[in-house]
Amino acid sequence: MIEVRNLVKRFRQFTALRGITFSIRDGEFVAVLGVNGAGKSTLLKILSGILYPDSGEVMVNNFVPYKRKKEFLKNIALVNPQKTRLIIDLPPMDNFRLFGSAYGLGKKEVHKKAESLAQMLNVESKLKNQVRTLSFGERVKMEIILGLLHNPSVIFLDEPFIGLDFISRKQLISFLDAFKGKKTLIITSHIIEGIKELVDTVLVLHKGEIAAKMSTDEIKAILQNRVTIEVKAEQEIKLPQVFKAKEYGVYSAFVDKHDEAAILKEIENIPGILEMSVKTPELEDFVEELITSK
C-alpha cells in the first residue's frame, strides 16, 4: 500500500511537486505519465527513500521511505536504466553476485534468480559477457534483472523504454505483465505506447501536479466516445480552436464523436488542406489534451 498526502518537494526556490495526494493498492500497476520535467523521477525518488519530502506524508508498505529502514529497502526496488548501476568491466552475472551479496543473497540463489529472469527477457546467453559489450537494450534488461534479484514486492521503474526498439519494448511489457497480481509496479514513462495494456491505473503528472488519476477502463470508455481528426496542410493554416499544431503543417483535434461531422464540415473548405483523416484515439491523445488544457 502506498499513501501520499499533500506531498511537496522543492529544489531551492523551484517547486517540483506541488502538494500531491494519491494512494496505490498492493498489487496495483500504475503508470505515471507526463512530459519532461513533470516531476515523475522526483516522485519515484521520494517513494523509494532517496529524497525526503519538504512537507506532506508518504507511506510505502507502512514505512516512511526516507528513514530507509532495512525491512523497507528489502521490499522495494528503484530501477532507472538511464543511471546504470552495473560495473561495465564485469559480466552481468558477476555484478549480480556482487550486488546480491549486499542483499544477503547466496551465490546459488542469485544464479537461479538471474537465470530465470534472463530467460524471460531473452538475454540468458549474455549473462557471462562483459557489460560493456552488450547492446543498449540488453544492458537495460540486465539493469532490470539487477533490480529484481532480491525479489522486491514493490518496483519503481523509471523510464525503462527510453532508447529501446519496439520489439524490446514489447518484450519488456510482457515481462512486467508476468508480475501482475504478484508485485506492485509504478512505472514512469513519456513514451505512452503499449502502457495502457500493462497498467490498471494511469496517473498523469503535469508541472508537479496530478492532472488525472484514472483506471485504464475509465480511459478506454472515454476514448470510445472520442475521435482524433488529423489535418495535413501545405503550410501553416488557421483552423478552429480545437485543433492543435503537432508539427509544421500537421494539426490534430481530439473531439467527441458527436461533434465529428460538424467539425469536418467546418473545415472542408479551408484552403491549403492536403489531407484529412479520422482515427481511433490513443491514450497519448488523451494525455496530451489533459496537459495542454492546463
Ligand X SMILES: Nc1ncnc2c1ncn2[C@@H]1O[C@H](COP(=O)(O)OP(=O)(O)O)[C@@H](O)[C@H]1O
Which member of 2, 31, 34, 239 binds ligand X (CB under 6 A)? Answer: 34
The stretch near ligand X (CB under 6 A) out of 9-17, 99-107, 223-231, 256-264 is 9-17
- As measured in angstroms, the least distance from the Cβ of 36 to Mg ion is 7
Q: Is 41 a residue that touches Mg ion (CB under 5 A)? A: yes
Q: Which one of 37-45, 56-64, 106-114, 216-224 is the stretch in contact with ligand X (CB under 6 A)?
A: 37-45
User: Which cell numbers hold the place of 234?
Assistant: 501545405
Q: Which CB sits closer to ligand X, 40 or 113? A: 40
Residue type, 290: L
Rounded to 5°, angle at Cα 234 from 233 and 236: 70
Does residue 11 belong to the site contacting ligand X (CB under 6 A)?
yes
Please, how many CA atoms are within 13 Å of residue 18, restricted to the half-sphere of its CB?
12
> How many residues comprise the chain?
294
Contact mark string toward ligand X, 41..80, x via CB under 6 A: xx--------------------------------------
Q: Which stretch binds Mg ion (CB under 5 A): 3-11, 16-24, 39-47, 82-90?
A: 39-47
Residue 137 Cβ, how far from ligand X at the closest point, in Å? Answer: 21
Applying CB under 6 A, does 4 fall inside the site for ligand X? no
> Which range binds ligand X by CB under 6 A, 11-19, 96-104, 114-122, 210-218?
11-19
Check: CB of residue 205 under 8 Å from CB of residue 30.
no
Number of residues that bind ligand X (CB under 6 A): 11
User: Mapped to the 3 state alphabet, what secondary structure does 186-233 carry?
Assistant: EEEECCCCCHHHHCCEEEEEECCEEEEEEEHHHHHHHHHCEEEEEEEE
Q: From the list 37, 104, 106, 272, which residue makes contact with ligand X (rule: CB under 6 A)?
A: 37
Residue 64 or 191 with smaller CB distance to Mg ion: 191
CB of 227 to Mg ion, least distance (A): 31
3-state secondary structure of 157: strand
Q: Which is nearer to ligand X, 5 or 18 (CB)?
A: 18
Torsion angle of C-alpha atoms 63, 64, 69, 74, degrees rounded to 10: 50
Neighbours of 115 (CB within 10 A): 15
Taking CB under 5 A as the rule, does residue 80 contact Mg ion? no
**157 beta partners:** 79, 187
Residue recorded with cell 470510445: 224
Report the residue from 2, 4, 7, 16 that binds ligand X according to the rule CB under 6 A: 16
Q: Least distance (Å) from ligand X to the CB of residue 116? A: 31
85 neighbors 91 (Cβ within 8 angstroms)? no
Binding partner of residue 37 among ligand X, Mg ion, none, CB cut-off 5 to 8 Å per kind: ligand X
Q: Which C-beta is closer to Mg ion: that of 41 or that of 252?
A: 41
At 201, give phi and psi (nearest 5°): -140, 145
Ramachandran angles phi, psi of 6, nearest 5°: 50, 40
The edge-to-edge listing of strands for the beta sheet with 244-247 is 244-247, 250-256, 226-233, 273-279
39 touches, from Mg ion, ligand X, none (C-beta below 5 to 8 Å by class) = ligand X
152, interface contact from Mg ion, ligand X, none, CB < 5-8 Å by kind? none
Residue type (1 letter), 97:
R
Cβ–Cβ under 8 Å, residues 66 and 53: yes
Q: Which residues bind ligand X (CB under 6 A)?
A: 11, 14, 16, 34, 36-42
